[in-house]
Amino acid sequence: MKKYIICFFVIFLFCSVSAQSTKSEVYSIIPQPQSIVIGTGKPFVLLSTTKIYFPQNDENLKQIAAFLSEYIQISTGIKVQVTNSPIAKNSIDLQSNFTNENKEAYKLNVTQNKIVINGASSAGTFYGVQMLRKILMMDGVKSQIKLPNVEVVDFPRFGYRGMMLDVARHFAPVDFVKKFIDILALHNINTFHWHLTDDQGWRIEIKKYPKLTEIGSKRAETIIGKSKDEYDGKPHEGFYTQNQIKEIVDYAQKRYVNIIPEIDLPGHMMAALASYPELGCTGKEYEVRKKWGVSEDVLCVGNEKTFEFIEGVFEELIPLFPSQYFHIGGDECPKNTWKKCTKCQIKIAELGLKDDGKHTAEEKLQSYCIGRVEKFLNSKLKKVIGWDEILEGGIAPNATIMSWRSFQGGIEAAQQGHDAIMTPGSYCYFDHYQGNDVNLEPLAIGGYTSVERVYSFEPIPEILKSEERKHIIGAQANVWREYMPTSEQVEYMILPRLAALSEVLWTVPEKRNYANFLSRLANFLPVYDKLNFTYAKNVLEVSPQIQIDTENSRMLLDLKTSSKESIYYTLDESEPNRNSKKYKDEIGIQKSVTVKAAVIGKNYKSKVYKQSFEFNKATLKPVVLKNQPVDRYRFKGAQALVDGKIGTTVFSTGDWIGLYNENFEAIVDLKSIQEVTEGAINTFVSPNDWIFGPKQFNVFLSNDGVNFTSVYSKDIETATQGDNAKILNLKATFESQKARYVKITAPIFEKIPQWHYAAGKPTFLFVDEIIVH
């Protein structure tokens, strides 16, 4: 009898745990809430007689109630009525008196009789409604919707959670801008950074300066892909009237999304210069830029008319955008025209600006420009945000820094007592490729930023002290649209990466787990389907993870997917199918091989993952770097040089390592004395990205790792103007010699050449596989 009792108790306990687990899965949404406590009472049943209650005379909650009614109908087909009369049973009550210091916090209680969503403000209530919306959409249309008892207490980690959309390179219709705002709201993103002007187009009506839209909003044609001089011959144009701006701002405010407009200055102004040439330094006529990249032509900061123009533009924008922040750009502003411009040089002299070894007089002139614009906007009760270049020459007194080139700009700003928004390109640029095989992806600017990479983003650098950390007010992702001509492609590039970012910005780090996130994401993707969002399905395909142990010369390939289907793979270059080997455990890679793998179901087959591993004497051997790669191009560090993978022209996939202003020097330990006849590396060159090859390639051999003998040396010519991105294979062949250690050095070109828009700046050096035969 005792055995039966114990058995019954174990079964009961198992069923109870299983039931609790099933209940908690209902609330497994994105972003992950801070606290979910499952109750034990009967569930709330959503019926056609259910009503949504909001307090009388509360217009904000009335609007949210209308949204919720719409969400429920889309999710379940049930039309729920809205009322301001209290309901005793089977109601969803909206409130905004939850006591919490965080005004975007909310509490959601589900009992048999009621669902109560109580925000610390109407914004908090809105996010509680978003949670309920996602639960219902993930649950699917059923004859009866039952929600388990629960108490959720939730709040965002960061107050600034942003997403930038570039409409200058390719114009976005009003309907898509609204859809974009809807996407942000679904992901609890509260800030829409709107990049409205650039060299390739001016997109907002300014009545004082009508030529900005008559001329500046139209470019004659657009460069095709990444060609140098091939154009499509098709005019591209578009702008928003001030009435349309008001309409979009109102639409966003109702969804608790704040719009920050960006007028990028003093560079990125070709569209304005084409409209008003007198604002430039040269006196020549300009045209709206037809190709991408950075123009040498910028606003003339020595001309007072320039500041009359800037202030005139902002005078009209201020009534349109209630945001406390205005973004004024400040990035990628070449200084060459200022060096030659009489007016700019007179202004430099007048201000007493001098080169101090750290900053040039021209960089200080840009700081003068940014400071003057900031002072004007401050007088209008607005705060300024600028890209991290505005740190050069001295930061404006009250500016907030948007750190895009790395974390460093944000770190410097916080250490100086300024607020910063983190948006480092290696984590937050959603114009980068998101699939590991770029041949299967739409054309992109380059780079590689996977969902996993986004999820691993930590906005607050460890180096900051506790009092400095409060200055990191949040982060955002950016969508630059050079290679995104359609709205559908924008959606594809941001989703589901935005889901990963939303959890980074909302959920506290200790509650984040990537494997758990992937599981929830698989259940979340049907929400995109129901809302007709276009999204990348890479997470449903094969995602590789490679573990390298150079001390023991071992490599393991782990294949993952968030799909419910299985992975099948081959090692003989044949295409995988359901008769191929089913993936169960890590694959050991010990020799040259090509792995092909796919997620395959009964009626589904994903894109095929293909990776070739090419072994040589250096593969999986210990390697030591003298100088370390920069953080954003570190990836697996020295191991990337001996993993058997050959990098492509997409330099941010992790196959390359990138050094900045540092020479390359690596020593490989072959583990035994061997015959050596060849040493080689691959280096990547892309002048537009500041990436130049080395000026020299040297190979040394040693038996003891201390005393090296030179066996090869060659000078390398620098890239020239107009060079496209390319891979250089640097190979040294020599008479057979015995050695255990191979040292390869590749000194950098110290400065970017004079023909380049960033002349004089340090260069990047990218290196891939070390090959020894």
DSSP conformation class of 429: B
- 245 with 238: CB under 8 angstroms? no
Choose among 549, 561, 546: nearest CA to 635: 546
* Bridge partner list, 116: 93, 109
Amino acid present at 452: E
Phi, psi of 118 (to 5 degrees): -120, 115
For tokens 């011959």, name the residue. Answer: 233
Q: Which two tokens stand for residue 673?
A: 């004395």
Choose among 359, 470, 370, 479: nearest CA to 428: 479
Distance CA 648, CA 727 (A): 8
Choose among 180, 167, 229: nearest CA to 485: 167
Pure H helices in 545-665: none
With 0-12 / 13-18 / 19 or more C-beta atoms within 10 angstroms meaning exposed / middle / buried, residue 561 is buried
Distance CA 51, CA 515 (A): 38
Question: What is the SS3 assignment for 543?
Answer: strand
| CB-CB neighbours of 286 under 10 Å | 22
Q: Are strands 581-582 and 543-549 parallel, antiparallel or unpaired?
A: unpaired
Q: Which two tokens stand for residue 557?
A: 């390939």
Choose among 185, 79, 208: nearest CA to 129: 185
Amino acid present at 296: E
- CA trace torsion 398, 403, 404, 409 (10° rounding): 110
- 170 with 481: CB under 8 angstroms? yes
- 658 with 623: CB under 8 angstroms? no
Amino acid present at 311: E
| CB-CB neighbours of 728 under 10 Å | 15
Active site residues: 198, 268, 332
Question: CA separation (Å) from 656 to 634, 648, 666, 753?
Answer: 8, 9, 14, 23
Q: Which two tokens stand for residue 366?
A: 């840009």
* Bridge partner list, 147: 44
With 0-12 / 13-18 / 19 or more C-beta atoms within 10 angstroms meaning exposed / middle / buried, residue 397 is exposed
Distance CA 443, CA 433 (A): 8
The full DSSP string for 192-258 is EEEE-EETTEE-B--TT-THHHHTTTEES--B-TT-SS-B----EE--B-HHHHHHHHHHHHHTT-E
Strands (E), 32-84: 35-38, 44-46, 51-53, 81-83
Distance CA 359, CA 26 (A): 56
- 337 with 362: CB under 8 angstroms? no
Distance CA 391, CA 761 (A): 15
Contacting residues for 242 by C-beta, under 8 A, at least 6 apart: 204, 205, 207, 316, 320
Question: What is the SS3 assignment for 495?
Answer: coil
- CA trace torsion 662, 752, 366, 387 (10° rounding): -60
> Over the Cα atoms of the chain, what is R_g?
29
